[in-house]
Amino acid sequence: MPDIIQLLPDNIANQIAAGEVIQRPASAVKELMENAVDAGATEIKLIINDAGKALIQVIDNGKGMSETDARMAFERHATSKIKNIDDLFRIKTMGFRGEALASIAAVAQVALKTKRAEDDAGIAIEIENSIVTNQEPVAMQDGTSIAMKNLFFNVPARRNFLKSNPVELRHIVDEFIRVAMSFPEIFFSLTSNGQQVFYLEKGSLKQRIVQVLGHSYNAKLVSVQEQTDYLNIFGFVGKPETAKKTRGDQYFFVNNRFIKSAYLNHAVMNAFDDMMAKDSYPMYVLFIDLDPAQVDINVHPTKQEIKFEDEKIVYAFVQSAVKHALAQFSITPTLDFDLDASIQNLDAVSKPFTEEKQSSASASSLFKTFTQKNQAHFIENKSELKHWKDFYESPGQDKNINQQIENPNIELHTKPVQQQFAADDLLQIHNAYIVAANDNGYLLVNQQNAHERILYERFLQAVAGRPIATQQSLFPVSIDLAPADAVLLIELLPDMQQLGYMLEPFGNNSFVLQGTPADVPDGNEKSAIEKMLEQYKHFSNDLKFTKREKLLRSLALQQSIKSGTPLLQKEMEVLLNDLFACSISNTTPNGKPTYMSFKKDELDKMFGR
């Protein structure tokens, strides 16, 4: 029988390598931009079409390549940065794998133009499927231009696995930001489909952070600067009030290379301990410089996960540096008492807590329930409030709603109204809760949770084919966003239009808001959009939600009536009647209870009657 083991042809081997190196257009963007940085460029331009599927082009003014180097660059394992095995442990450059250009040439049509300062003319090379199809001299400025067209044109199965253009564009923006943040002394620009997304002038690190993440950080950055014999740490952290519900604005760089490290992130979180809410995340852009021999950057193909020789020392230095910076700038946690003026004037708040009042309070059954031993079960056992357990015993209760999000043609069957409330039976307390009397006792309704459920089901009806009416603005509002948020908003525009928002892109990461849903207060439009995007990114961490589901939940949470908002009697009546007209009235979309019910006989038992 003939031998059956054969060597793979180079083009097939390169395509296999490409699967590890070039996973999506953003992977190619990272490799090409890092090569431009290593070439000593002071200006780097990234041009993409069709979210990188049709074109990714990087133009730099670096040192260029000779004709021989230009040909050699596309060979596997070809690199100018490693000559022996010890060099692997002294890496200070960005791109060094030696497979990137070969991998790109295996899955795209590549056009390279390059020229050195000492050469009279440059060289142009065209490669397709790892084969050089054309090579000729070309007149051009010093530097390199490399364009890859029709990514995965010869691997259609891989192309089919790419996500939608907005999703792929967001990944490209992420990679662009990571490289641009590392080198504020270099000019960067990003153009997508002929429209400029980023134009980042050379400047300081602080200027680059503000350019990329938005002007809201301009006066809210705290400088971090610590130098030791072992490592240096520098960069900026945001003041505690800039903390967000998502991890988006967090960047770690080791020897100018972006890394992901849950371990070091924990060090920063510890430094901010007690300065912000537990479910919030601080903004930071931190650089760690240390001897490359102390770091192994080859533990992951993308080089985004690295291993330190001594992780505990790095952890301690990071935590100490951030703590020291916050203390130096007298950053202390601020307490925000969001109390209505009428509440602050109540006797319970304004008058002293006398001994007589203390004695009266400590004698009450409620006080004993919470302070005496073995009393934690008292209220539940005596009142038999079984409905609390019902909230948690039916986790699939939103199943019909989630099905409709995926299939808008399914009609949503709402249950008939079980309870009707009149305004005279309602009382608002602490501008947060509504007490609703009924024949059997009373309900205690959380107004924000109730409104969130109402809005969610209203939005659900809108995307199922009954769009919400839009109230056109007399004076359209201009909204400027950070580039990454602008890309995200463009992705959400079609669904937002069904939900009553008339938004139009206006170039340069700006949008014009021509109209909003009728119940969004005037003057609050810009804030509503920004908070919705932040909430959307928070939900994006949960993979079980679809894009549309995340949007509906984000808008419902953001637009719901907040605690501390006084309501008229008629508003309370409408709120409760709308709540009990919902298909699911007892929880928010996230499972929080909207109300508690107290029966009269249970109340009598609690008071010994």
Residues 6 or more apart in contact with residue 191 via CB below 8 angstroms: 45, 46, 47, 48, 197
- Rounded Cα gap, residues 86 and 90, in angstroms: 7
Instruction: Read off the pLDDT of residues 405-461 as tens digits, 9 standing for 90 and up.
Output: 444 443 344 444 456 777 777 889 999 999 988 778 888 999 999 999 999 998 888
> What is d(CA 412, CA 69) in angstroms, rounded to the nearest whole number?
64
Q: Summarize the confidence of residues 97-107 as an average pLDDT.
A: 73
Q: Is the pLDDT assigned to residue 14 strictly greater than 80?
A: no
Residue 337 predicted with pLDDT over 90: no
Q: Considering only 117-131, 283-297, 478-492, 534-548, which range has the smallest mean pLDDT?
A: 534-548
- Amino acid identity for residue 496 in this structure: M
Q: What is the pTM of this model?
A: 0.67
Of 19-23, 382-386, 432-436, the range with the highest mean pLDDT is 432-436
3 state DSSP class of 284: strand
Give mean pLDDT, residues 276-299.
81
Tokens linked to 48: 């993409």
Query: Distance (Å, rounded) from C-alpha 65 to C-alpha 69?
Result: 6
- φ/ψ region of 444 (left if φ > 0, alpha if ψ in -120 to 50, else beta) reads beta
470-480/502-505 β-pairing? unpaired
CATH code: domain 394-609 is 3.30.1370.100
Q: For 20-41, what is the mean pLDDT?
A: 87
Q: Is the pLDDT of residue 306 over 60?
A: yes
What is the structure's pLDDT at 145? 96
Q: Which residue has the tokens 């508690």?
A: 596
* Nearest-angstrom CA–CA distance, 198 and 487: 11
Question: What is the spatial distance between Cα 592 and Cα 384, in angstroms, rounded to a whole number?
Answer: 20
% of the chain at pLDDT higher than 90 = 26
- How many Å apart are CA 300 and CA 420, to the nearest integer? 61
**CATH number of the structural domain 206-328:** 3.30.230.10
Across the chain, mean pLDDT equals 79
pLDDT digits (tens, 9 = 90+) for 191-231: 999 988 899 999 999 999 999 988 888 888 999 999 988 89
pLDDT classification of 155: cutoffs 50, 70, 90 = confident
Q: Average pLDDT in the 320-338 region?
A: 67
In the prediction, which pLDDT does 413 show? 40
Break the chain into its structural domains and give their ranges. Answer: 10-203, 206-328, 394-609
As a CATH number, domain 10-203 is 3.30.565.10
Rounded mean pLDDT of 226-238?
A: 92
The rounded percent of the chain whose pLDDT value lies above 70 is 75
